[in-house]
Amino acid sequence: MADKLSGVGVSTGVGYGPALRLTRAVPEPPADARHDGDADAEARRAFAAAEEVARDLTDRGERAGGEAREVLAAQALMARDPALADDIKRRIGEGAAAARAVSDAMAVYREMLAGAGDYLSGRVADLDDVRDRIVARLLGVPVPGIPQSTSPFVLVAEDLAPADTAMLDPERVLAFVTREGGPTSHTAILARSLGLPAVVACAGADQITDGTMLLVDGASGDVLSGPDPTQAEAARAAAAARAAAAAESTGPGRTRDGHTVPLLANIGGPQDLPAALENGAEGVGLYRTEFLFLDRADAPGHEEQVAAYRAVLEAFPGGKVVVRTLDSGADKPLAFLPPAAAEPNPALGERGLRMMRRHPEMLKSQLAALAEAQRDTDADLWVMAPMVTDVDDAAWFAAAAGEAGIEHAGIMIEVPAAALRARHLAEAADFFSIGTNDLTQYTCAADREVGGLGRFQDPWQPAVLELVAAAAKAAAAAERSCGVCGEAAADPVLACVLTGLGVTTLSMGATALPLVRAALARTTLAQCREAAQGALAARGNEDAKRIARQALPGLAELGL
């Protein structure tokens, strides 16, 4: 019987092979380790080891190039840090052995970094790596690193440091599994750039022993140890077939019988454009503008905003770009837009458009910057407001956008009240875009961030599908477009169902585009509609998924 571990899938694909652990088990120097009395000689020994580590890190960086070179150069600076050196010298002067002095001095800075913001806490792994390398040299034990193997393996680690992976041979690695880390960890970024499956934040990964056969699914985050070999091989082959079919799918989104469904990308800023273009996005369906506003003391100025919007509009000449106005609130607080009062339940508080109605000047400046950015480009700019609840909200936003000279002003459908009354909201809004993540959270009254509510956080819940259908139907009656820009659009089976429900565009993280394009191309509009009706009639989320899949036989070719 296979054991299943679950983590967060951060790089899609399926890998199957034996586990090999990255050992960073450098023994901790004993707490009372003391030197033999010659403090100067001991300090020289410590600095020599630190200097050797700094040189080694610099060399590795030079050989690896690119981003790794910068990270490793910063680590070399840590090894040579004069403030750290003073502290090490002082500790040795008090009698501590070199390895102990290095370890204790590093601990002071480690605590400081771990306690600071998100960015700095990500550097803790870098600092730990420097410490382990220096201590290993001083103790005369092997320097930690990637295990050597002549055959391919699944790399299992606590977390990966840039120095570990700079020299990694991607041909030898089938997948990564780490106990720590998140979607922005070094492991995740590296895995995506190498196209290797990866699961991070995997509790229990530290219990995996070398040689255990692992089946790693970088999409679902599941890690099976000791699976049935035939099944594991089938899962790997299906994933490979899926990747191959997805890679072959090109051109605009359309069903097999030619019903077009424009496939758009969700982006968080100009840095996401290369991936969107590479995966064949026909435009942008959701441009989250928060990145311009977060982590700063003042609101961004007009010129800065214009530049950020223009960069995206210029990437899609003639294409559609849907921009969502600032979505902030108690869960995404901004220094210059504090919430009016403490909110015990921020998901139900003053966020999105509600916040903008309190600070209309902020919205006005954003709309003015958007209007100016559009003037010099050929892109088709659409602007929408988040967290719209009723007709008054929709009309208020449409008036503000019209005043700024925005041609297409629409709304997001995330609140069940808005979906239920979509026929009235369509009178004030030029278009709808359904945010399925929040719509699911509000429909099922299940906080997105709470673990253990998985069944209710599933957009396959027939109640959610029914609200999507209501919004799409109202949009069609008013001759408005109705897109979906949530995780639901990235699920190729659900994408077909949404199309059958009358959704007109699908927007998703760029890497999901090829598979959704391939799924639509293997399905007719009639089949999508049949799948949609079947899912709507289902009693539960699992049933809805099963019934819909049966109505979509073409998806078998994709191993779905």
Q: Report the distance separating Cα 177 and Cα 188, nearest Å.
A: 10
**Under rule CB under 8 A, which residues in 491-510 are in contact with other proteins?**
none
Query: Is 450 an interacting residue with respect to other proteins (CB under 8 A)?
Result: no
Distance CA 307, CA 319 (A): 18
In sequence order, the 6+-apart residues with CB closer than 8 A to the CB of 390 are 417, 418, 421, 425
Looking at 2, 25, 114, 116, which residue binds other proteins (CB under 8 A)? 116
81 interacts with other proteins by CB under 8 A: yes
Query: Which residue matches tokens 């429909």?
Result: 443
CB 139 within 8 A of CB 99: yes
Residue of 112, 237, 240, 445 interacting with other proteins (CB under 8 A):
112
CA-closest candidate to residue 341, choices 323, 353, 326, 354: 354
Closest approach, Cβ 381 to other proteins, in A, equals: 25
| DSSP H or E stretch at residue 388 | none
d(CA 384, CA 205): 42
Q: How far is the CB of 123 from other proteins (least distance, A)?
A: 7
Closer Cβ to other proteins, 101 or 519, answer by number = 101
Does the protein bind other proteins through residue 83 (CB under 8 A)? yes
Q: To 10 degrees, what angle do helices 39-64 and 124-139 make?
A: 130
Sequence-distant (≥ 6) Cβ neighbours of residue 448 within 8 angstroms = 347, 437, 438, 441, 457
**Residue 107 binds other proteins, judged by CB under 8 A:** no
Check residue 109 for interaction with other proteins (CB under 8 A). Answer: yes
Size of the residue set binding other proteins (CB under 8 A): 22
Which of these segments, 29-37, 113-121, 392-400, 533-541, binds other proteins (CB under 8 A)?
Answer: 113-121
Site for other proteins in 282-311 (CB under 8 A): 295-298
Interface with other proteins (CB under 8 A), residue from 23, 51, 52, 74: 74
Q: Residue 502: what are its φ and ψ, rounded to 5°?
A: 105, 10
Please give the DSSP secondary-structure letter assigned to residue 486.
Answer: S
d(CA 507, CA 530): 22
Whether residue 125 contacts residue 179, with contact meaning beta carbons closer than 8 Å, is answered with no
Regarding 234 and contact with other proteins (CB under 8 A), the answer is no
Q: Which residues on adjacent β-strands are paired with residue 265?
A: 284, 508
What count of other Cβ atoms lies within 10 Å of the Cβ of residue 41? 12
- Between 111 and 228, CB nearer to other proteins: 111
DSSP 211-262: T-EEEEETTT-EEEES--HHHHHHHHHHHHHHHHHHHH--SS-B-TT--B--
Residue 146 Cβ, how far from other proteins at the closest point, in Å? Answer: 24
Q: Minimal distance in Å, beta carbon 103 to other proteins?
A: 15
Report how far residue 221's alpha carbon sits from residue 13's, in angstroms, rounded to the nearest whole number: 10
Closest contact distance (angstroms) between CB of 309 and other proteins is 16
Smaller CB distance to other proteins: residue 337 or 531?
337
Taking the C-alpha atoms of 63, 65, 69 and 70 in order, what is their torsion angle to the nearest 10 degrees?
170
- The verdict on 132 binding other proteins (CB under 8 A) reads no
Q: Would you count residue 477 as binding other proteins (CB under 8 A)?
A: no
Shortest distance, CB of residue 396 to other proteins, whole angstroms? 31
Q: State the nearest-atom distance from the C-beta of 78 to other proteins, in Å.
A: 6
**Which residues have a Cβ under 8 Å from the Cβ of 344 and sit 6 or more positions away?**
none
Please select the residue that binds other proteins; options are 123, 137, 179, 351, rule is CB under 8 A. 123
The whole-angstrom separation of Cα 463 and Cα 474 is 17
What is the 8-class DSSP label of residue 3?
E
CB nearer other proteins, residue 110 or residue 423: 110
Q: Which residue is listed with tokens 């009178």? A: 427
Q: Please pick, from the candidates 3, 28, 34, 119, the single residue that binds other proteins as defined by CB under 8 A.
A: 119
Query: Minimum distance from CB of 518 to other proteins (Å)?
Result: 37
Smallest distance, Å, CB 487 to other proteins? Answer: 28
> Which residue number, 101 or 482, has a Cβ lying nearer to other proteins?
101
Numbers of helices and strands, H then E, in the chain: 22, 16
Residue 330 to residue 353: CA distance in whole angstroms? 13
Give the residues across from 11 on adjacent strands: 198
* 385 sits in which H/E element: strand 380-385
Active site residues: 186, 485
- Determine if 84 is a binding residue for other proteins (CB under 8 A): yes
Q: Confirm or reject binding of residue 33 to other proteins (CB under 8 A).
A: no
Instruction: Kindly tell me which of 76 and 419 has the beta carbon lying closer to other proteins.
Output: 76
Tell me which of 78, 322, 467, 471 binds other proteins, using CB under 8 A: 78
- For position 120 contacting other proteins by CB under 8 A, the verdict is yes
Q: Work out the burial of residue 215: count CB atoms within 10 Å of its CB; fewer than 13 is exposed, 13-18 middle, 19 or more buried.
A: buried
Stretches 77-85, 200-208, 351-359, 505-513: which one binds other proteins (CB under 8 A)? 77-85
Tokens representing 239 are: 């994933």
Among 33, 39, 52, 73, binds other proteins (CB under 8 A): 73
**Contacts (CB under 8 A) with other proteins, residues 305-344:** none
CB 362 within 8 Å of CB 388: no
Exposure on the CB side of residue 320, measured as CA atoms within 13 A: 23
Q: How far is the CB of 31 from other proteins (least distance, A)?
A: 23
Q: Which residues bind other proteins (CB under 8 A)?
A: 70, 73-74, 77-78, 81-84, 109, 112-113, 116-117, 119-120, 123, 127, 295-298
